[in-house]
């Protein structure tokens, strides 16, 4: 009966490790300088500029 609390302690360590991994992934994803959200914003901005220039060239050529 010496190791009765070992299971719950291991469970707590696993939950803590999972929370640390989730925290690291969230900071990488939502980092305003290099994260995925920043990259998607740049891509959307570039696409918007391409569409705008295409529409402007179509309007001016008519």
**Tokens 């640390």 — which residue?**
20
- Radius of gyration, CA atoms only, the chain: 25
**pLDDT tens digits along 19-49:** 999 999 888 887 777 777 777 777 878 888 8
Answer yes or no: is pLDDT of 18 > 90. Answer: yes
Domain ranges of the chain: 6-61
């Amino acid at each position: 009966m010496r190791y009765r609390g070992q299971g719950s302690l291991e469970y707590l360590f696993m939950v803590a490790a999972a929370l640390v991994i989730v925290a690291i992934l969230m900071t990488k994803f939502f980092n305003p300088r290099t994260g995925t959200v920043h990259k998607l914003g740049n891509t959307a901005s570039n696409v918007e500029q391409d569409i705008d220039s295409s529409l402007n060239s179509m309007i001016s050529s008519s």
